[in-house]
Amino acid sequence: MKKLILCFMVLIIAAFSIQAIADENNTNIDEPHLVQYITQIYKQIDFKNCNHLSYYVFEKAYRGYLNLKYAGKLNNEKEIITICNYDLPSTENRLWVIDLHAHKVLFNTYVAHGQGTGEDCAAEFSNTKNSHQSSLGFYVTTATYEGEHGTSLRLDGMDYGYNDAALDRDIVVHGAEYVSEHFITENNRLGRSWGCPAVALDLALPLINTIKDGTCFFSYFPDNKYMKTAYWLNKKITHLPENNMLPDIEMNLKLEKGSYANRNTTILNNTIASVGKIENKNSSKDLNSYSNSFPKNITRIEYVRNGKIDSVKTFVIEGN
C-alpha cells in the first residue's frame, strides 16, 4: 500500500513538473515577436468595405483578447472581437466586429456613448451606477434577454475599477432609434444612452447574435490612467494561438539582425522560393544557412503561399 501511495505521489510530482516546464516555455514570447505577430494578424483583416480601424487600437484590443482567451474567459468556439473606438466622434462608424479566424469585418457601424460621457465626442468615463457614463475596458459578452429595448446583450466587465460594475449598472448592447443617420442629420451628433453601447435598431439583433456567449468586447479611449494600469491590457502575454506565425516571425527577426539591407521584409509563411529556387525550408532557421545556394548578390526573394507567389521583396546578401 505504501509503495502504491509513493508511486502515486511520484506521478503527481512528475505531472506538476511537466506543467511547470510547459508554463516556463510559454513565457518566452518576447515583445518583438509579439508585436510582429499582432501586426501579421492586423494585416490579414480585410477593411476594404468599411472604415479602417487604427492599428494602435487593434493592437491594444488584441493584447487583452489574448490574455482573456488564455485565462479561460472567452468562448473558444467564437474567435470574434468587438472594438469600440470612443476616441472617434459619434458621427463615425466607430464600432467594429471582427472575425479573427476568417479575417473579416462582420460589422462596422455607429455606436452610442453615455449622456454623461460627452456630446458628439466622448470625454468622461465612469464605473459608477447612475452616472449615465460609458465605461472603458474589456468585457466578456454573456446571455441575451428581452427588455425595454428588445433583445439586449449583457456585458460582464473584466477591468476592476473601470467596468466591473457593468452587470450591476445594466450596461448592455441594445438597439435604439437615436442611433441613426436621421438623428445625426437633425442633431449633428448621434443620440446618447445611459452608458450602454447602443447600436442601430436594424442591426441590433444580428450583431447581438454574432457576438453573444463569451466573446471579447473592448471599449477604447486614450485615457492615460487606464492605459497604464488596466490588468488585461498590461498583463504579460504567455500564449499565442496554435496556428500562430511565430516561425515566420523568427526568420524575419533574424533577417533584420543579420547581414541584410532590407529592414522591412515580411515572411508570409514557411514556404520560401527565390531566384535560386530554394523551397520548403523551415523558416525558423536563419536564411544565412542557405546562402550558398543563392546566386551571388541576389536582389530578389519571392515569398510563396500554396505554390503561388504571394509577394516579392528585395534585399542584398552581403559576403556572397
* Residue with the larger pLDDT of the pair 289 and 244: 244
Amino acid at 318: E
Grid coordinates standing for 91? 458621427
Q: Give, in order, the Cα–Cα distances in Å from 31 to each of 195, 246, 256, 266, 307.
A: 35, 12, 15, 17, 31
Q: What is the pLDDT of residues 226-238, one digit of tens each?
A: 999 999 999 999 8
CA 165 to chain centre: 24
Checking if the pLDDT of 20 tops 80, the result is no
Residue 5: band (very low, low, confident or very high) from pLDDT cuts 50, 70, 90: low
Show the 3-state SS of the chain. CHHHHHHHHHHHHHHHHHHHHHHHHCCCCCHHHHHHHHHHHHHHCECCCCCCCCHHHHHHHHHHHHHHHHCCCCCCCCCEEEEEECCCCCCCCCEEEEECCCCEEEEEECCCCECCCCCCCCCCCCCCCCCCCCCCEEEEEEEEEEECCEEEEEEEECCCCCCCCHHHHCCEECEECCCCHHHHHHHCCCCCECCCCCEEHHHHHHHHHHHCCCCEEEEECCCHHHHHHCHHHHCCCCCCCCCCCHHHHHHHHHHHHCCECCCCCCCCCCCEEECCCCCCCCCCCCHHHHHHHCCCCCCCEEEEECCEEEEEECCCECCC
Distance separating alpha carbons of residues 52 and 38, to the nearest angstrom: 16
Grid coordinates standing for 41? 494578424
Q: What is the pLDDT of residues 81-138, one digit of tens each?
A: 999 999 999 999 999 999 999 999 999 999 999 999 999 999 999 999 999 999 999 9
Amino acid at 258: G
Q: Which domains, and CATH codes, for the chain?
A: 28-234 (2.40.440.10), 246-313 (no CATH)
| Residue carrying the nine cell digits 501586426 | 39
Residue 29: band (very low, low, confident or very high) from pLDDT cuts 50, 70, 90: confident
Q: What is the pLDDT of residues 259-315, one digit of tens each?
A: 333 333 333 333 333 333 333 333 333 344 444 444 444 344 444 444 444 444 443
Residue 166: band (very low, low, confident or very high) from pLDDT cuts 50, 70, 90: very high
* Burial (CB count within 10 angstroms: exposed 0-12, middle 13-18, buried 19+), residue 90: buried
What is the reported pTM?
0.72
Checking if the pLDDT of 15 tops 80, the result is no
Instruction: Of 43-47, 193-197, 241-245, give the lowest mean pLDDT range.
Output: 241-245
CA 107 to chain centre: 16
Checking if the pLDDT of 206 tops 90, the result is yes
Q: Rounded mean pLDDT of 158-186?
A: 98
